[in-house]
A = this chain, B = another copy of it.
């Protein structure tokens, strides 16, 4: 508590993709770090807006009607109810997530990619 959190250091602590780790919490929201490789699954969140801040690599966020490319030093906010498919445009993409504590990674689509027990780093 009351210590600075170094993002690079946190990303160095794990390797698995699509499994968000908690690195901070405030105001009922969580700060998470996640590594992306390949593509995820189409999903949406009924109640939560999600922020994706790219730290390394490039993220392609696919929407049903368009794609948005998100580069290092850029963030994208996906509003609740909007279907999206995160795709790692680079071999590996490092993303910081900012979202409510209630957010499930696969949103409305519970399946093998769903992570329910998030590790805190």
Contact = CB atoms under 8 A, between A and B. Distances in A.
Tell me whether chain A's interface is mostly helix, strand or loop, or mixed. strand
Interface residues of A, number: 36
A79 interface: yes
Interface of A: 1-8, 24-27, 29, 31, 48-51, 55, 63, 66, 68-71, 73-79, 82, 98-100
Given A7-B73, A8-B73, A73-B6, A79 B29 contact: no
A50 B24 CA distance: 11
B51 A26 contact: yes
B74 A26 contact: no
A1 B51 contact: no
A68 B27 contact: no
Contacts of A5: 74-77
